[in-house]
Amino acid sequence: MTPRFSIIIPYYDGLAHIEEAVQSVLGQGRDDVEVIVVDDRDPGLTGDALDTMFPNAPQVKVVHRSQNGGTLRARRDGVLASAGDSVLLLDQDDALAEGSLAAIDGALADSPVDILHFGARVVAETGDAAAARDGMESFLTPPARELAGDEILVRQFAFEDGFDWHVHHKAYRGDFARACWGRAADVELTLSDDLYLSFILSSSAKTYRAVGEAWYVYHLGRGETMAGNYTVDKLARVSRLDSRALSLLCDYVARPDVASARSDWAARLADVRDHLIEHVANEMADGLSLSECPGAIERIEGDWEPDALAGELWRFVRDRAYALYDSGAYPKKDDDLYALLDQVEAVDAHVCGEGSERYRFMRDAARRHLADIETIAPASRKLWRKLVQRVCG
């Protein structure tokens, strides 16, 4: 009998939580489900620990990779080994909400789609996670709507009214999922593999529907997300992986069978690039001190076109200038602002031509906010005027 659902769980160094994840599926009380746990060759896993973990659950299958290959390969192996009418991805430290499969089944019964997108309930596991919980839950909860054809990819990576690119908390039509993962590159990729696959999925889908119900449980603070002290080395790794994802997508859209599918690939890749560099820049701003940023920028600038990186630095200048303007405080010299300007000017020197639309938007907004301060700053007006002249020419 063909399973109604295939649940794919990539496994690596997750012994503390994998049983909880699998039990959240088995606890749905359905016998039309297969659970595929993909062992990505965790060196700390002894013998047949995964194979014997669920002796009374024949619907749990373990796929052992011959060597560690990263999340992209593990998920790919799991999806290609599946047989279900619908395929879902579940991270090893997350869970499906109680009754979620019945709810998904009902949502698809009368109106099947290639991608059914639903919300996630975020459980904060650390103090930092608690502060970020509401924002993450909002990000993971899509607006209820239906999209079709080329509009799906356009909308996903739009900065206004887009939707997230996690491959979990979505249900995919089985044959559609297997075709998309089959087209993915057989390479090692972690962290940014979600965005890479989401681009392939959304560019291939004919139908998409989003509902606001939270049928996925996301444990924020478990695993790598928000874990440990941030360093320049960690930022360099994030930048390298995000840049790698963009490179793989450029290769993907250059394939003859893909290139002819639509005429707006350049614009769609530009959207993705802007999201990726925004992610890297936010990691830098949130995790590093201003004194660490110049060294960090030197480490990552080779991963990105100058206008992409400069645009994000102008965004920081814009935000700092607006914060000063909004507070009504106009110091003779704001050290943070001057440090940001030093950084953006160093990168700006390498921008060729007019740069991207996002770059120009952020640069011009930063200049406007600085000019606004100059018009109303009291005794320090001359110094602010010199700053505006420095920035605007």
Counting residues of the chain whose pLDDT is more than 70, the rounded percentage is: 93
pLDDT of residue 326: 81
Q: Say whether pLDDT at 270 is over 80.
A: yes
pLDDT of residue 339: 87
pLDDT of residue 128: 85
| Residue 187 half-sphere exposure toward CB, CA atoms < 13 A | 16
Q: In this structure, is the dihedral angle defined by the CA atoms of residues 156, 288, 317 and 320, taken in order, positive or negative?
A: positive
Three-class DSSP category at 3: coil
Average of per-residue pLDDT across 292-309: 96
Classify each residue of 190-214 as buried b or exposed e, where b means 16 or more C-beta atoms within 10 Å of its C-beta: bbbbbbbbbbbbbbbbebbbbbeeb
Which of 64-68, 169-173, 268-272 has the lowest average pLDDT? 64-68
Report which residue type is found at 122. Answer: V
Average of per-residue pLDDT across 9-31: 95
Share the mean pLDDT of the chain: 91
**Phi/psi of residue 119, nearest 5 degrees:** -85, 175
**What pLDDT, in 10s, does the model give residues 199-217?**
999 999 999 999 999 999 9
> Residue 372 is encoded by which pair of tokens?
């606004």
Compute CA distances 233 → 71, 223, 279, 290, whole Å.
Answer: 21, 18, 16, 16
Residue pointed to by tokens 């990186």: 309
pLDDT band at 267 (very low <50, low <70, confident <90, very high): very high
pLDDT of residue 377: 64
**How many other CB atoms are there within 10 angstroms of residue 59's CB atom?**
18
pLDDT band at 227 (very low <50, low <70, confident <90, very high): very low
**What pLDDT, in 10s, does the model give residues 318-354?**
998 888 888 776 666 678 888 888 899 899 999 999 9
Nearest to 121 by CA among 212, 9, 47, 253: 212
**What pLDDT, in 10s, does the model give residues 51-67?**
889 999 999 999 999 89
95-96 and 207-220 beta bridge pairing = antiparallel
First CA to last CA across the chain, in angstroms?
71
